[in-house]
Amino acid sequence: MKTTNTSNSSGIGFIGLLTILFITLKLTNVISWTWVWVLSPLWISTVVSIIIIGLVIFWVEEQMKTSDINKMSDKNKTEACYNCGTIIYTEFNDFKVIEGTIYCKECALKRR
Ligand SMILES: [Zn+2]
């Protein structure tokens, strides 16, 4: 007797048991369903898991888009020149850092 199987106590699960039940009922002529519906627990659970996986992938992609936008806004950070207050777009690299303070190019040149 195996006692370590904790994730699935029945071994086949609810879907498997339902399918076996339907097949048994079909073969004993208790139900007159077509085989599509007799086997429906199998494909319905497959379709449901595909939909769930699709939704998860969609959600992950949305999250990645959002983090990309966050990265972009980090890149587009602006600073102000310590001397004249001119807005410096750090992505264009039009600034100089002198003794830990940010200056625009013009002010940096004047300081030299
Ligand atoms: Zn300046």
Q: Which residues contact 37 (CB under 8 A, 6 or more apart)?
A: 22
Whole-number Å distance, alpha carbon 101 to ligand 1 midpoint, is: 11
Q: What is the reported pTM?
A: 0.46
Give the position of tokens 């595909």. Answer: 50
> Under DSSP, is residue 104 helix (H, G, I), strand (E, B) or coil?
strand
Whole-number Å distance, alpha carbon 44 to ligand 1 midpoint, is: 67
How many whole angstroms separate alpha carbon 2 and alpha carbon 77? 61
10 Å CB burial of residue 74 (0-12, 13-18, 19+) is exposed
Strand residues in the chain grouped as ranges (E)? 78-80, 87-89, 95-98, 101-104
17-68 pLDDT, tens per residue?
999 999 999 999 999 999 999 999 999 999 999 999 999 999 999 888 887 7
> And the tokens for 16?
């498997």
> Under DSSP, is residue 58 helix (H, G, I), strand (E, B) or coil?
helix
Residue boundaries of the structural domains of the chain: 11-75, 76-112
Q: Which residues contact 42 (CB under 8 A, 6 or more apart)?
A: 15, 19
Whole-number Å distance, alpha carbon 98 to ligand 1 midpoint, is: 12
Q: Which residues contact 106 (CB under 8 A, 6 or more apart)?
A: 84, 86
Whole-number Å distance, alpha carbon 91 to ligand 1 midpoint, is: 17
59-105 pLDDT, tens per residue?
999 888 887 766 666 656 788 899 999 888 877 777 888 888 999 98
